[in-house]
Amino acid sequence: MKIFKTIMIEGDGAVLDRVIFEATGREDHVPAVLDANPGLAQIGPVLPVGSLIRVPELPVDDAIETVPTVTLWSE
């Protein structure tokens, strides 16, 4: 597993999903981050200041399904 980056928690009240989303812009990274950081889930929902989190690299998913937008004025 290739590591994309390592993040250090610098402030109080940091939660994993928000930290990962801010770092990667993706919501699907959380399971991979938990796999790359054994014991991270046992810390609890709020991460302590100074925690180091390894963020693995995930492949880009080109198969994202898009749904067309329909408005009242669409033809």
pLDDT at 63 over 70: no
Q: Which residues partner with 5 through β-bridges?
A: 55
With 0-12 / 13-18 / 19 or more C-beta atoms within 10 angstroms meaning exposed / middle / buried, residue 30 is middle
Q: What is the mean pLDDT of residues 13-42?
A: 90
- For 34, the token pair is 């938990």
pTM comes to: 0.70
Contact by Cβ (8 Å): 9, 55: no
- For 21, the token pair is 């989303």
pLDDT at 60 over 70: no
With 0-12 / 13-18 / 19 or more C-beta atoms within 10 angstroms meaning exposed / middle / buried, residue 47 is buried
pLDDT at residue 75, as a whole number: 61
pLDDT at residue 66, as a whole number: 64
